[in-house]
A and B are shown apart, each in its own frame.
Chain A
Amino acid sequence: MTELLMCLILFLPLLSAVLITLVLKRAAGTCGKLAIAAAVASFGFGVLVFAFESQWHGGVLLSVPWIELPGLSVGFGFLVDHLSVLMLLVVGAVGSAIHIYSYEYMRGDAGFSRYFAGLGLFMFSMYGIVVSGNLIQLFIFWELVGLSSYVLIGFWYERGAAADAAKKALITNRIGDFGFLVGILMLWGLTGTVDYDGIKNALSENPGVLGGLSTLTGLLIFCGAVGKSAQFPLHVWLPDAMEGPTPVSALIHAATMVAAGVYMLCRLSFVFLATPAWPEALSWLSAVTAPLVIAWVGGVTALLAALIATQQDDIKRILAYSTLSQLGYMVMAVGMIAPIAAMYHLTMHAFFKALLFMGAGSVIHAIAREQDIWKMGGLRKRMPLTFLVFLAATLALCGVPPFSGFYSKDEILLVAYGQSPGLFVLGMFVAFLTAFYMFRLIMVVFYGKARSAVVDKAHEGSITMTWPMVFLAVLSVVGGLIGVKHYLGAELAHGSVGESQWYLAVFAPFVHAPFIALIGLAAVVLGYISARTMYLGAASDPFPAGRALLARVLRRKLYVDEVYDRLNAVTQEAAAVFADWFDRWIIAGVCVRGAHGTTELTGRMLRLMQSGSLRAYSFWFGFGLVIVILISKSL
């Protein structure tokens, strides 16, 4: 039965996308309803799989051979275990909420049905990543997720910025995927299989099976996550991806797709347990291990993104940088070999970040698609429900107990405290920054006075927009207490994590490691106070005053885009210019035309001999005769 359910979960969204594209394109309303029905049904079936756990025992179900050749066999199957079921539920829950929300948000758009077809394709691809049991199946859906993200970022493709952002997103992802595919090839070359189980067994039999390539393999696999989860230095596409419709940002660029990288790292965490080693020539790098690099890349991303977020003015961009920063936390956790903490935070983050984007969408929808926070203000009174859910999500994001984010973030900081003081301090500082930029947002958008006329006409959206928000708000509030960690613990940790009562769970962090919980809380309070003193009632941003240089650097996003443009211009683009020049002038010009010209010239010269004059012919005849005689004599 589980097989059937999994098939339905995976293929219903695809079916709806195909039907919409081929048959229903013109009936926009039906398209929307069909897509919503498919998404909700998928989620429902996911819940069934979760509920009837006794029906499955972990492992790959229904593996159909896809490529069956000597040396490479790739199956198409469904990997069902706690990790994938949890992820199915997250994707299903957030996805369903976003589908319903979009029905109102996107109403009247000319591409309404195309939008829902894109969402369907995305849901299919995302579910595909979750249930993959081997690297090739994973890579296929990995690419498809990138593709659906391209389609949805470029949904308003007539706008130059959206089309540019879509292109940038896919190319940046492709750079990460380059490393990922090479890593897959390397793993296959060393272990002879692409199945997770096969690689895991090979590694547990002999942790040194990867030999001198072990660290490199780990890093290449990580490249995939750097692209998809937008970690530094490939983070540049995510803020631009905000050009897509806001529900898309909520689903794909906050809750699910960008989390796929973290999910993949947790899924493949066994690769990072291989004995670290470098090839001979690089042995001086022996102190650097893959997990160490991963943890620091995550940490640096968390910090830089949080810094940049403090000086952005576009409501969606602030949230985008916040997403980057939180993904950095998760990646950091993976790097510290704490996949439970990473997945825990991923789950909580999916709820509250999707909610934040939906709240932002609700605001943007209400005030004529304005996204500059300095043109908003005082929305607390006009949109009380949005304000409340937004506040709940903010508290969850900042990590205020008993909201969900507190528990998962505490978990990560706890691990950092035990493993790396540097990362712990960094994590705490990011917690402070998080509270600062989020309350800056709230102070400017919801408090103070209205800064433009449209704000006065703002009102809540209809019930299809508000209820999905309430649904996610509930999850954001209680998410930390519903046992996600225990559900994962049974899977990822060896041995069980002790069960406890929910009311004890509320205070658990304060009981286990009060020091860390309290410092974390202090950082949040500090962030809140700074933001409140600086931004409550401010008419324009007071931050740049006296810190002009810092503010400018942060506003320009640390000039990373500019650096990349220059870098690309002097490397790949320069190579292309050279190749084009070489092709045009050297190969097609000098060589081909040269050969052509030489032949032609020879022909023309020989033609001169054919003068038609008998005297000339007899002269050449005599000349030739002399030559022949001379040659034959000399022999």
Chain B
Amino acid sequence: MSPLLQIIGWPFLGMLLLFFVPRGRARIVRGVSVFTVFMSLVTALYVFIRFSPGQAGFQFEQTLDWIPALGVSLHVGVDGLNLGLLVMAALVAFASVCISREVKTREKEFYILLLMMTGGAYGMFAVLDLLFFYVFHELALVPTFIMIGVWGRGERRVYAAYKMAVYLSLGALLVLVGFIAIYVAAGAESFDIPVIAERLQSAPLSESTQSWIFAVLMFGFGILVALWPFHTWAPQGYASAPTPVAMLHAGVLKKFGLYGLISIALPLMPAGAREWLPVLAWLCVGNLLYCGLVAMRQKDLNLLIGNSSVAHMGFVFLGIASYQFLGITGAIVVMIAHGLLAALSFGLSGHLYNQKPGLRIGEHTGLLKEVPFVGTALIMAMLAGCGVPGFLNFVGELLVFFGAWGVVPWITVVCVWAALVVGAVYMLRAIRYMLHGTASNSGLNDINGAWLRMPYALLLGCLLLLGVYPGLLLRGIKPAVDNILPASDVAQVMNRGEVVDAMPITVGTEESGLSEMEGSENDSK
């Protein structure tokens, strides 16, 4: 059995086991959960180590037929693109199961749902089948709503859960429409992504078909990732969610939309992409700048982190919109970095909010003195969030900027401002009025003991390790990204001289950047 199937299988196995554990045996419930996600993590690391970077195509592949008549099969495989995401998901899932200790009611049900979410998250990154891709995501999404409604915090949690459910179901529905359209239009009688890709390579869809399917997918996926202006579900949803759910959703599940855009929408519909990516480039300003500004005004740490998380999605959108090697590579790196960081930040703020619900920034100062471990980790997370080198986020943001510079220079400039200045303003303000300042006897407790600190240290350590040595992550990414970009662009990137010539030498108006894109589109015709 492919190790990928094992990664997906462990949490589901754990879930099944939990059905038979008597209620009230919380220790056993926890033990089974931690053990199964740990096994997934180990297997994921094994895959990461054994992965051979230079090789093109998918590795660790396996196909199990499911509905042969429709061409649906459980086809798993990894390349440089989803490998990193899968490992990130395993790390985040492990960390969030570890800190689920905070849940004290209906533990059995909680862990069953949490494992279901985890298994779905692993599945969606590992499968290469459109239908399973969708199903695994839904499998992870449904428990999210239930968990926010039942175990969430705050009075508005029911409204938040509803809002999130409506938004995300709408997004997922659009995605489903897009997938079915692809299936029908491609006429390959198969949901298998490599098969469809091969088919569309030889017989591309007409441009108008590509255009509308891409638009449906872009907005469908976009809603799932909180693309501006469809973002308001996110900060509120995360603020109301129990900590492990916020960690898993913001860190891992949200990447479904981005991963889908990169690995499905872009390669299958290049002409549609060229038409719609300029729109995405503009919308990403909404994420980065607008949501950054909104974050500046937040008084609730969770809402601040939520808005900043939405803002960070802007980097990924910008990288995708650049449709360049560096930009897309950067987008993938930001996805992984953000996954680890969002989990870390929500984990830490969750620790504070469980003790003091409704804690506002400025209500208690000097927390660094009172809760040194949480304070230090939170400061590091916030610095990572405003792009300080040493953390993986910096690498991703840098690559996105380099990728986008030649395509949409003015938007890039605005995004650099949002990243370097606006990001620093809201993060440093939060540090100043929460962690710095006179200690105020808040009565908050720190996290003590190596075992309890481990999940946070793990996430932080990974951010630092990959940030210092991004080669670990970048090593296998090239063949995967080459697959995503149209063949002509890849050839161009290979020859650096040409790329420099193709770059808009004069940073003129926005139109010049966009006409550059249209120009190359004409060339490709």
What residues make up the interface of A, taking CB atoms closer than 8 Å to B?
Answer: 65-72, 136, 139-141, 143-144, 147, 154, 157-158, 160, 163-164, 166-167, 170-171, 174-175, 177-178, 181-182, 185-186, 188-192, 211-213, 279-280, 572-573, 575-580, 583, 587-588, 591-592
Contacts and interface: CB of A to CB of B under 8 A. Distances in A.
Interface of B: 163, 229, 232, 236, 290-291, 293-294, 296-298, 324-326, 329, 366, 368-369, 383, 386, 388-390, 394-395, 398-399, 401-402, 405-406, 409, 412-413, 416-417, 420-422, 424-425, 428-429, 431-432, 435-439, 470-471, 474, 478, 493-494, 496-497, 499-500, 503, 505-508
Contacts of B508: 279
A587 B236 CA distance: 13
B232 A588 contact: yes
A568 B520 CA distance: 41
A259 B36 CA distance: 54
Given A189-B406, A587-B229, A579 B293 contact: yes
Given A182-B413, A189-B406, A211 B505 contact: yes
Contacts of B505: 189-190, 211-213
B499 A158 contact: no
Contact of B428 (A158, A170, A280, A592): A170
Contacts of B429: 167
Contacts of A170: 424, 428
A583 B398 contact: no
Contacts of A163: 432, 436-437
Given A157-B368, A157-B437, A213-B506, A71 B432 contact: no
A157 B420 contact: no
Nearest to B167: A592
A181 B401 contact: yes
B326 A72 contact: yes
B326 to A, nearest CB: 6
Contacts of A182: 413, 416
B287 to A, nearest CB: 12
A66 B293 contact: no
B424 A576 contact: no
* Most chain B C-beta atoms within 10 Å of own C-beta, residue among A166, A212, A580: A580
22 contacts: A67-B474, A68-B471, A69-B474, A70-B494, A71-B326, A140-B389, A140-B394, A143-B388, A144-B388, A164-B432, A167-B428, A170-B428, A171-B425, A178-B420, A181-B416, A212-B505, A279-B506, A579-B293, A579-B297, A580-B296, A583-B294, A592-B232
A171 B437 contact: no
A72 B389 contact: no
B325 A70 contact: yes
Nearest to A279: B506
Nearest to A181: B416
B474 A185 contact: no
Contact of B421 (A69, A70, A174): A174
B477 to A, nearest CB: 8
Contact of B438 (A158, A188, A578): A158
B500 A192 contact: yes
B398 A171 contact: no
Contact of B405 (A164, A189, A191, A579): A189
Contact of A587 (B232, B293, B399, B471): B232
Contacts of A576: 293-294, 296-297
A592 B290 CA distance: 18
Contacts of A141: 389
Given A163-B437, A174-B421, A192 B499 contact: yes
A583 B478 contact: no
A99 to B, nearest CB: 23
Contact of B369 (A158, A178, A212): A158
Given A190-B505, A211-B506, A588-B236, 4 more contacts: A66-B470, A178-B421, A188-B402, A191-B500
B293 A213 contact: no
Nearest to B390: A144
A139 B397 CA distance: 13
B421 A167 contact: no
A192 B496 contact: yes
A580 B497 contact: no
Nearest to A577: B297
A506 to B, nearest CB: 45
A67 B405 contact: no
Nearest to B477: A69
Contacts of B229: 587, 591
A575 B293 contact: yes
Contacts of A72: 326, 399, 402
Contacts of B436: 154, 157-158, 163, 166
A580 B405 CA distance: 29
A170 B436 CA distance: 15
A437 B162 CA distance: 67
Leading 7 A-B pairs by shortest Cβ distance: A163-B436, A580-B297, A579-B293, A576-B293, A140-B389, A157-B436, A192-B500
Given A68-B474, A136-B398, A174-B420, A185 B405 contact: yes
Nearest to A583: B294
Contacts of A212: 505-506
A78 B497 CA distance: 27
Contacts of B413: 182
A587 B497 CA distance: 45
Contact of A69 (B232, B329, B424): B329
A158 B496 contact: no
Contacts of A154: 436
A178 B416 contact: yes
A213 B507 contact: yes
A160 B432 CA distance: 8
B395 to A, nearest CB: 7
Contacts of A158: 366, 369, 436-439
Contacts of B405: 185, 188-189
